[in-house]
Structures are given as structure tokens and as C-alpha cells.
Homo-oligomer: A and B are copies of this chain.
């Protein structure tokens, strides 16, 4: 995967959350079972683990189809300058999970992160005997069940969490909305890998951030750098810069490889029009 790590030892990959978190599913999708995970308590700790060499790579969520972009991680990408090596989309499937020996009809209290509890409202409206109890983490609630075995308790979390903590799925896929996907980035340290090679036409995506001073004609002109070269955008999002009225940060993903001469010209053109331009990474498009 171009992480520049010897093949004789396993990769260490940092992520936020407890083991069994959806970020760990992203790691499996990206790297199979070849990685050791480094759980971190918050997002900046993930970036610090990679920058400080306690991990060889990191995986962070960047946007969710229901909840939007994770601006905090965009800010950390700008601050830590750790390039994006790959992307993947994880479908957020919630399962009702119980410790061994607990059957569905014994369950009275269901622990999970409030966001997960709120994504299973239909399930709870059909099972009014169940009380919802907030916990700090989805996978962490399964870990707590496995360790403390509170009577009549179950949790909502990923299939992976059930497996890791030796628990059972009592009801699978109880989420209200099946269009709930989270997109994750795999990050590496700068310069610790050869750049992904040969610009396979349309097979790569490039993510960048730029700012413009004033939005009326400025964004339109900035986008001409892509439109005039037939480069397809895959994402655009504006974000106001707090304390600087009328200055905006834009997130753009487009299809193309930074080594392609057309892309080089587009970035040169955009650089003329933008106050700040930072390429966050160039990586193979996920299916």
C-alpha cells in the first residue's frame, strides 16, 4: 500500500474510538486483517499518533451521508500535513448485541452512543419494552456488556464489535436509514512512501482545500480551472472562515492524478486565483 513499512512487521494503524468502532471496519476494508490497531480517545490524538511515529498510518472519518463533513478532521488535515493515501466508504449497520446467554426477550435496557440510538427509532417504537441508555461509544458499550454483564442489558454497535468482545447479534441491521455511509481517509506520514505511480486515467481522486477572498465571481473563476479542462468534481463545499467575513474555505475533490499534465495546469491556474491552495492527497477512487 505504499506506506514504506518493512514487510516483516505488521502495520500499526491509529483510529478514534474503542476496538470494534466503524473506523476499524474502514481499516479492514482498506488493509484487510494485516494491521494492528492503535485506538485513540479523540481525533487530534490520531493525528499525533501518526505524526509522532506511534502509528504507521491513520484512519479518520471525513464525511457522513446523514451528518455532513467532519470539519474538525479537515482542520487537522490542514494543520498536520499528513497526506491521504486512500479512501473507503463504510455502510453504518447497527445491530442489537447481547452478551452470551442473553436472549432478545430478556433485554430491557439498550446501551449505545446517542447518535446510534437515534438512528434506530423505528426499532425502538416497535419494541417499547426497551429503555435507551446513552454510552460514550458504540463499540465501548459492547465492551462494557462483556466486562460487567449488567442483567437485561444489550448494546447497539457493529458486527465487528460483537465478534471482538465475544457477544451475540440479537437483531441485525436495525438502523432506520440504509443510506447511512461514512467516508474515511487513510493517512500516512509525508515522504515515507513512494507516490502512487502512473496516473491511470480517471482512476484517481485528488482532494484539496483553497480559500478565496470574496465569493461572487471568485468561486466561479476558481471552478473554471477545472471546467475548462473537463476535470470532473466529485465534491465541493464552502465553509465560512470565522472572524473573516466574506472569506471562504472550499473543499474540492476531483477526478484526476496530480502527476497528469492537465491536472498540473489546473492546479497552476487555481493557484493564481486562490489565496491559499493545499493539495491534501491523491489516491485511488474507491468503488
Contact = CB atoms under 8 A, between A and B. Distances in A.
Interface stretch (A49-57, A65-73, A146-154, A265-273): A65-73
A137 B114 CA distance: 8
B136 A134 contact: yes
Interface in A217-271: 217, 219-220, 223-224, 226-227, 230-240, 242-243
A186 interface: no
A132 B136 contact: yes
Contacts of A236: 219, 236-238
A196 interface: no
A238 B238 contact: no
Interface in A170-191: 179, 181
Interface in A197-220: 214-217, 219-220
A121 interface: yes
Nearest to A180: B242
Nearest to A220: B227
Contacts of A42: 118, 121
Nearest to A228: B220
A117 interface: yes
A227 B118 CA distance: 40
B242 A216 contact: no
Contacts of A227: 216-217, 219-220
Given A121-B42, A237-B236, A70 B72 contact: no
A63 B70 CA distance: 11
Interface string A117-146: 110010000000000101111000000000
Contacts of A219: 223, 227, 233, 236
A111 to B, nearest CB: 9
A53 to B, nearest CB: 22
A144 B287 CA distance: 46
A72 B235 CA distance: 18
B65 A67 contact: no
A168 interface: no
Contacts of A230: 216-217
Contacts of A68: 63, 67-71
Interface of A: 42, 63, 65-72, 113-115, 117-118, 121, 132, 134-137, 179, 181, 214-217, 219-220, 223-224, 226-227, 230-240, 242-243
Given A67-B67, A235-B240, 12 more contacts: A42-B121, A63-B68, A65-B240, A67-B72, A68-B69, A114-B137, A215-B233, A216-B231, A219-B223, A235-B238, A236-B237, A236-B238
Closest 8 A/B residue pairs (Cβ): A68-B68, A220-B227, A68-B69, A134-B134, A134-B136, A216-B232, A179-B242, A237-B237
